[in-house]
Amino acid sequence: MIPTRLLLLLFAAPLLHAKETAPAPAQYSCTDESLESNLAELKNQAEGGNAAAAAQVYAAYARNRHKVQAEAWFNRWLQLREEEAQAGNTDAMREVGTLYLRGDVYLAPNPQRAVTLLSQAAEAGDAAAAILLGEHFSKTAPEDSKLFYAKAYNIYKAVAEADADSNDLQADRRHALEMLGDMELSGIGTEQQTDTGITHLEQAGTPTALMRLFQVYVKGIGVEADMLKALSYAQQLADMNPKSPHTGQMAWVMADAYLNGKYGLEANPELGNKYLDIADTENIAPAIYCKALLQQKEGKNKQAFINFSRAASMGNPEAGMHAALIQLHGAEGVQKNEEMAIETLKRISDRCSVGNEWYVGRAPYELALYYDRVGAKEQADLWYRIASDRNVVEAMARRGLCHIIPGGELEWSPTAMFKWWKIGSEAGDATCSRYLNIFIWGVVPCILLFVFGLPVLIVHILNKRNSD
Candidates 161, 94, 158; CA nearest to 131 is 94
Candidates 188, 1, 15, 13; CA nearest to 115 is 13
Q: Are 318 and 359 in contact (CB under 8 A)?
A: yes
What pLDDT sits at residue 217? 96
What pLDDT sits at residue 239? 94
**C-beta contacts of 220-225 below 8 A and 24+ residues apart:** 221/185, 221/194, 222/185, 222/192, 222/194, 222/197, 223/194, 223/198
What pLDDT sits at residue 16? 38
What pLDDT sits at residue 27? 64
Where is average pLDDT lowest: 5-9, 175-179, 225-229?
A: 5-9
What pLDDT sits at residue 9? 37
Where is average pLDDT lowest: 38-42, 286-290, 306-310?
A: 38-42
Where is average pLDDT lowest: 11-20, 218-227, 297-306?
A: 11-20
Average pLDDT (254-265) is 94
What pLDDT sits at residue 191? 94
pLDDT at 184 over 60: yes
Q: Are 243 and 282 in contact (CB under 8 A)?
A: yes
Give CA–CA dist 439/196, Å, rounded: 71
Where is average pLDDT lowest: 24-33, 58-67, 338-347?
A: 24-33
pLDDT at 223 over 90: yes
Q: pLDDT per residue over 319-332, tens digit each?
A: 998 999 999 988 88
What pLDDT sits at residue 168? 56
Give CA–CA dist 455/75, Å, rounded: 101
Q: pLDDT per residue over 388-425, tens digit each?
A: 888 888 888 888 888 887 766 778 888 888 888 888 88
- In three-state secondary structure terms, 87 is coil
Mean pLDDT of the chain: 85
**pTM greater than 0.75 (yes/no):** no
As a whole-number percent, the residues of the chain with pLDDT over 90 amount to 47
What pLDDT sits at residue 415? 85
Q: pLDDT per residue over 8-56, tens digit each?
A: 333 333 333 434 445 556 667 777 788 888 888 999 998 899 999 999 9
What pLDDT sits at residue 468? 59
Give CA–CA dist 440/244, Å, rounded: 64
As a whole-number percent, the residues of the chain with pLDDT over 70 amount to 85
What pLDDT sits at residue 32? 77
Q: Which of 141-145, 350-354, 456-460 has the highest mean pLDDT?
A: 141-145
What pLDDT sits at residue 164? 57
Number of Cβ within 10 Å of residue 388's Cβ equals 25
What pLDDT sits at residue 455? 67
**Which is it for the CA torsion 321, 323, 324, 325, positive or negative?**
positive
What pLDDT sits at residue 159? 84
- In three-state secondary structure terms, 112 is helix
Q: Is 9 exposed, middle or buried (0-12, 13-18, 19+ CB in 10 A)?
A: buried
Q: How confident is the model at residue 142 (pLDDT cuts 50, 70, 90)?
A: confident
Secondary structure E strands in 25-153: none
Number of Cβ within 10 Å of residue 450's Cβ equals 10
Q: Got the DSSP string for 263-286?
A: TTPPP-HHHHHHHHHHHHHTT-HH
